[in-house]
Amino acid sequence: MQTHTLAQFLATPAGREADAILRACVHCGFCTATCSTYQLLGDELDGPRGRIYQIKQVLEGQTPTRITQGHLDRCLTCRACETTCPSGVRYARLVDIGRHLVAQQVARPWSERLLRSALVRVAADPRRFGALLRLGRWVRPLLPAALAAKVPRWRPAGAWPAPRGRRRVLVLAGCVQSVATPLTNAAAARILDALGIDLIRRPQAGCCGALAYHLEAQPEGLDAMRRNIDAWWPEIEAGAEAILITASACASMVKDYGELLGDDSVYAARAARVAALARDPAEWLTTLDLTALGQPGHGRRVAFHAPCSLQHGQQIRGVVESILSRLGFVLTAVPDAHLCCGSAGTYSLTQPEIAGQLRTNKLAALQSDAPELIATANIGCQLHLEGGSRVPVVHWLELLDPGTGLAVDCRR
């Protein structure tokens, strides 16, 4: 693609990066075939190719409008287009830059500003979100059905095995997951304990930074990344082998720390080290002998929803399914598995109508082959799907958990 990016943008690292990404695009349109919003809305401007062209126009001096902002907002950043693209266009990075540029020129209505500010200040803070969640659970019986479905039921995490001085792996506590589904990380700790590995928590490490970063609060997102690096660094220096991140969206973000903090003279080297150590549970477990876990599946039928952040963001496809099959689970068919469920971080709150339609389509696909359970790999997908599913939805690590396994109460 030919570009005529303004000199004022080419004078900045982000502008030069965006220009280089634009030049890689050949307008082939393969991306539209796998774009969930284009498939749903049928509008070229709500597909990757159309959004790329809109960002190109902004970089070339055209004044963006609320319409431009709306088309960029409706992007799920699922990155399915990157998986499809034959030219290797780094679309997700381009849309982050484009949204930031548009936000500098287009004022949002007060209602949108208030919602986004609340999400950054509440959802990214486990203490605040935990207090809100406790209130929601307390009044859940009084809420309308649609709203009550958004409040996850309490499921106890169970005991976290004490470290025994063996191989050590760090874990990201996260923000929403740490209080909404604490069972996930506890299950990971018990699984690794059975395999002879200590899973270490660092209380100072919290939100991965994605929530703020993708809501145009990039300084807050970068600060969260620096805080995590500081929290993990003593354990890394002491020999921690990896950083396990049980939410696939967070894993995708932590793996980008080196790039996002590459211009930070204080944190660049450590950020690159953290990114190199970041692991999704699926890729870590494939390096281990899982014999000690036995065969917990016993032929149970499971539909696996592969989050976009797993299959497109991290490019990990078929690995979870392989592990579950080896451990005795029967994987049911899931049509159009490449399409997004509509969760996409905070998307289900900022774009509820589209998110709801995508969830309906995804649940129809997941439930089409009569599974007993739906398993996924990301907290956002888990809660979003759970709110509309007639089949229990769990994190796939719960299925391997020696502490609960399939005895876990998955009833909604």
Residues in the chain: 412
Q: Where are the beta strands (DSSP E) in 176-308?
A: 197-201, 243-244, 278-279, 301-305
CA atoms lying within 13 Å on the CB side of residue 203: 1
- How far apart are the C-alpha atoms of 74 and 55, rounded to whole Å? 14
- With vertex at residue 356, the alpha carbon angle to CA 352 and CA 361, rounded to the nearest 5 degrees, is 155
Residue 408 has a pLDDT of 43
Q: Which DSSP symbol is given to 400?
A: T
**Contacts of residue 403, Cβ cutoff 8 Å, sequence gap at least 6:** 158, 159, 186, 187, 190
- At residue 317's C-alpha, the angle toward residues 383 and 355, to 5°, is 35
First to last CA, the chain: 50
Q: Which of 122, 140, 142 is nearest to 130 (CA)?
A: 122
Q: How far is CA 84 from the centre of its chain?
A: 19
State the virtual CA torsion across 9, 14, 19, 22 in degrees, nearest 10: -130
Closest CA relative to residue 350, chosen from 154, 72, 91: 72
Q: DSSP assignment, residue 298?
A: T
CA 331 and chain centroid, separation: 23
Question: 330-331 and 278-279: which strand pairing?
Answer: unpaired
* pLDDT value, residue 130: 83
- CA 14 – CA 59 distance, rounded (Å): 11
User: Among residues 43, 44, 3, which one has the least CA distance to residue 22?
Assistant: 3
Report which residue type is found at 234: P
What number of other Cβ atoms are within 10 A of residue 365's Cβ?
A: 18
Query: Could you tell me the maximum CA-CA distance found in the chain, to the nearest angstrom?
Result: 63
The pair of structure tokens assigned to 107 is: 């004022």
Is the Cα dihedral 266, 270, 272, 278 positive or negative?
negative
Q: How many Cα atoms within 13 Å fall on the side-chain side of residue 334? A: 25
Give the integer Cα–Cα distance in Å for 302 and 330: 6
Low-confidence stretches of the chain (pLDDT < 70) are: 404-412
| Closest by CA position to 290, among listed 377, 376, 192 | 192
